[in-house]
Amino acid sequence: MHLRYRLSRTLLLAACASCGGSSARASPPSSPRPLVGGAPAACEKPWTLGIIGGDGRIVVTCANDVQRQPLDESSALARALAPGLDPTRERVCACASRQRAPSFVDLVFTAKPEEGRVTVSATRDEDVDPDVSAAFAECVGTVNASYEPIHSGACPAGPATAIYPVRLELEP
């Protein structure tokens, strides 16, 4: 494993662990249910960073620093994360309409504002039903979006990476 990737991942995990989790709406694990009677409530309206979950803080990694910043939807970091919302909503909702969905899915939005790209990856949650969670995460996979590069100003010397972990409730 590449040393920089391992270091970045270690710093991210430490930063996320220090905030007490990735969701403001922590809920006990529940067993997945098929979506009988329609799409999840999360698919009924457009997404914004503030309403889909998360703890309202963005993890920012710089060359020699990791910090947490409050989510301000008008900030450069939020504008860099936002292009991932619509394509991820489409993918999550398409997967939920085709297969059994877990009660929630963990998504990690990762933006590189100065490069003009954002990825959103679904992660597995072994605490629920490992088979359903794994199959759903595989269906969602990784969504990529690009946009005009933005100078974020988040790092004093170089580009920033903005990470926004979200626990998206999928129950109808």
Q: What is the pLDDT of residues 16-41, one digit of tens each?
A: 433 333 333 333 333 344 444 467 88
To the nearest whole percent, how much of the chain has pLDDT over 70? 74
Spatial distance between the Cα atoms of 60 and 77, rounded to a whole number of angstroms: 9
Q: Can you say whether the dihedral through the CA atoms of 55, 151, 156, 142 is positive or negative? A: positive
| Distances 8 to 62, 83, 162 between C-alpha atoms, Å | 10, 23, 12
128: confidence class by pLDDT, cuts 50, 70, 90: low
For 138-158, the pLDDT digits (tens) are 999 999 999 999 999 999 888
| Distances 61 to 20, 30, 49, 65, 162 between C-alpha atoms, Å | 18, 33, 19, 6, 7
Helix (H) / strand (E) containing 107: strand 104-112
What average pLDDT score do residues 50-75 get? 88
Structural domain boundaries in the chain: 3-169
